[in-house]
Amino acid sequence: QVQLVQSGAEVKKPGSSVKVSCKASGGTFSSYTISWVRQAPGQGLEWMGRIIPILGIANYAQKFQGRVTITADKSTSTAYMELSSLRSEDTAVYYCASGKPLDYWGQGTLVTVSS
Amino acid sequence: QSALTQPASVSGSPGQSITISCTGTSSDVGSYNLVSWYQQHPGKAPKLMIYEGSKRPSGVSNRFSGSKSGNTASLTISGLQAEDEADYYCCSYAGSSTLVFGTGTKVTVL
């Protein structure tokens, strides 16, 4: 059974960047995909992108192209999502989720963007 | 990629059946049998309920079932129970290794 543990809440200024981590245990990290999904307050789920750690290949939703970078460190079984040029609309809970379909989820990381 | 369209809310009495629709396009729902459904209770992470259109993960009640016709996928909850009250989201593969979620449906048990 895969467990995903995410880093803690962040408060960021507009224009800055945030990097959220997602550490996996159980299963074989390199063999499954890790997706990042966000949820703004009171809003729905939004897929941002995913990575296949064994290949190091990431794919992104068009909306986030150029502003999000998803990476993975196989040595520590940890995936990362970095979002740049933050604005207030990026305030949301960010989740990592593994597999195809998304069968295991992290606990979520609240990122607040405020001046 | 535009979000898949779901009704904002659906309600039913205990024991009844309800169906949630998820309408996409021929570029996502209509092209692949890769629709999944997620249940989300307030303040919690989503939980996978249905994958590949109609398959249930181990541990998910058989009261949940999925289907697809053309560009529209559906989730049916039979024998509605109080614990089913939650938000539900569909998700489809959209080509080029991308996914798209639905707008979400709030299920209320009357």
Stretch (H or E) spanning A113:
strand A109-113
**Which tokens belong to B1?**
């990629």
**What averages of pLDDT result for each successive group of 10 residues across chain A (115 residues)?**
95 98 87 94 97 92 96 94 98 95 96 97
Per-residue model confidence (pLDDT) at position A30: 72
State the average pLDDT for chain B: 97
Per-residue model confidence (pLDDT) at position B4: 98
**Would the CB atoms of A59 and B45 count as touching at under 8 Å?**
no
Per-residue model confidence (pLDDT) at position A32: 85
The C-alpha atoms of residue A4 and residue A105 are separated, in whole angstroms, by 6
Question: Kind of pairing, strands A109-113 and A57-60?
Answer: unpaired
Helix (H, G, I), strand (E, B) or coil at A11: strand
Q: Using an 8 Å CB-CB cutoff, list chain B residues near A35.
A: 99
CB contact, 8 Å: B45 with chain A?
yes
Is there a contact between A106 and A24 (Cβ–Cβ < 8 Å)? Answer: no
User: In sequence order, what DSSP letters do the residues of B29-92 get, joined into one string?
Assistant: TTT-S-EEEEEE-TTS--EEEEBTTTB--TTS-TTEEEEEETTEEEEEE-S--GGG-EEEEEEE
The C-alpha atoms of residue B38 and residue A9 are separated, in whole angstroms, by 24
Is there a contact between B86 and B107 (Cβ–Cβ < 8 Å)? Answer: yes
The C-alpha atoms of residue A21 and residue B66 are separated, in whole angstroms, by 33
Per-residue model confidence (pLDDT) at position A94: 98
Per-residue model confidence (pLDDT) at position B20: 98
Per-residue model confidence (pLDDT) at position A28: 81
Residue with tokens 């990381």: A109
* Start-to-end Cα distance in chain A: 40
Helix (H, G, I), strand (E, B) or coil at B107: strand
Per-residue model confidence (pLDDT) at position A21: 98
Which residue of chain B has the CA closest to A60?
Answer: B98
Among A22, A48, A57, A102, the residue to mutate for chain B (most B Cβ within 10 A): A102
Alpha carbons within 13 angstroms on the beta-carbon side of residue A33 total: 18
Give me the residues paired with residue B73 across strands. B22, B68
